Structure 1
Amino acid sequence: MKIIDWYILKRYLGTFFVMIMLFIPIGIAIDVAEKINKILENGIPLIEVLGYYGNFTIYFANMLFPIFLFISIIWFTSKLAGNTEIVAILSSGISYMRFLRPYIIGATFIFIFSLLMGFFIVPKASLGYNDFKFKYLKRKEIRQTQNVFKQISKNEFIYVSNFSYSDKTGYNFTLEKFDGFNLVSKIEAGRIVYNDSTKDYTLYNYQKRTVGKLDDVIEKEPVKKVKFNFEVDDLTPAIYAAETMTLTELNKFIEKEKMRGSANINAYLVVKYKKYSVPVSAFILTIIAVAVSSMKRRGGMGVNLAMGIGLAFTYIFFDKIFGTLAEASSINPLFAVWFPNVVFGILAVYLLNNAKR
């Protein structure tokens, strides 16, 4: 690498991390101001609050890194353009694509860093962040609780009309076992309660019908303890469960939820695909930011920053809208997650060609 490469690369990475260090404390201050009353009212231990804000830092830095990256590139590239350094670089015989090389190298570093963070570190931070929020601040159901229908094995299906995770209790419980298309047995109970200590279930108004060749066998008991091959967390995973898993765990979880006919499967797939699409955006946003800010404008850096912030928030808007549509409708999650990158990738190519001319 030449001196010019090191010069731009150091500014690329340095400005990006300084931007994160500047904005994260602002985000923490706003969050503290919003939640301080609940924290004091609930008497939350200081060590848990500090842990929460450690996780908060990782969680939101990962979520907003496209904006931080975009603004930081526009900031220092506009300064280069304002000081006519880019004109001097290009006038020395270096092509625009050669000038862009250190930016692509920097984007590669950010891509790898973001990919590893999303696979291994962010999920653990997300678990701590969400657990704290729902334990102390929101205190509301975070799971599917109405008409829960799951396939728990190749030939077993369960159903509860209503489920309360706080006291591990379900109502109008049914478990059906099949052999191909033939019903083998059916267990019903008016109420089912999970026992944490013994890892089994207590069924009230228990009834089991075993289908025979000539006659059915019916067993009834007021109260009966039964051990099933599923746990409460398998039955009703938290809505943020996918965010808290590493890539390997997430792939296994999605396969299990597909088998069980989960209603939230699209939401889980959106989380999986974003682990790849968000890091890839580093290349797209880098090219757009350089193309927009490498020209010296009459309005100076302010015009470039305004354009950059507008484009960055448009990207985030597209990303959130299509992600939400995929979770709430039949839109293909893969299409929804990658659509913003495709649109802004086309924009990046157009702006790059325009900047080269």
Structure 2
Amino acid sequence: MDTSSSPTRRLLLTGVAGSIAASSLALAGPATAEPRRAVPAPETVALPDGIRPEGITSGPGTRFYVGSLADGRIVTGDLLAGASTATLLPGSPGRQLRGLFWDSRTNLVWAAGNVDAIGHVWAVDGTTGAVVSDTVVPGSAFLNDLVVTGDSVWVTDSRIKPDRLTRLQLTPAGAPTGAAPTFVPLGGAWPQGDGVAVNANGIRALPDGSLILNNSRAGGLWQVDPTTGVAVPIPVTGGPGIVGGDGLELDGRTLYNVRGSGQREVSVVELTQTGSTWVAAWRGACTDETLDVPSTATLAGGWLWAVNARFGVASPGTASYWVTRLPAR
């Protein structure tokens, strides 16, 4: 669809997410000291034609970064301004970027992807676009999403067999160490992939230090011990269940799972810790008529912003792309 003409936009939510949206929209207005109050914002944010976006991250404030599957560039701008305004990292032949994660400690934008068939993880200065580090991941198949924790970068590899996580060591301040990546096999109850279908995908860090993953092929949410790789399922009560998913975004105990239960929505669940494990309760699904196969999302300015990858669109090299604004809890 052409977002340049500012089409009439309808916001739809189901279940408890409907009440979440209603309260968010009611609060929309001038920014105040309330941390969850949403500020006025455009309905969509235009991206360059043909960019084929996949990953999005944000910070500081409402500055955002979107990576390209077409040429591995990173574009940036302010979500409140309504459009990408600059190229942070120029494109390069054969490079594809998927997951992105901005680290507030270092102002580094971490990116996972590949150059031709070789997997890489990059750290890019969020202001200058300088590549601070470029780590080759030997034996990788399809580096997908990533999260930065205190001393590590954790990366999912969606088509590796047997399944594993890639870890990059950081300094205590979050800087790259230059050390070779290490690997943690995924085990326990984790549903092993076939090396073809996308398996481990979205990843975030839980408050207790464990990791949470979704599984695009088998569905479900999974708690992973980062030391052993042992995975246990996180049961989800209510709703249709988590049947797939792409990117994850975590705000406290509220988890947003992009395409967790549908191709044009973001599933919302509330996490609760029970001893050493976690459970989740369905809180509804955010959807909007401007969503077109979203891939990842980021929280900024009191809103959730989902980038539309538009997988399967005709002529992806010239198609239009955009980010959709959704209410956040």
Using the size of structure 1 for normalisation, the TM-score is 0.19
Identify the structure with bigger relative contact order (alpha carbons < 8 Å, sequence gap 6+). 1
Using the size of structure 2 for normalisation, the TM-score is 0.20
| Bigger helix fraction | 1
Max radius of gyration: which structure?
1
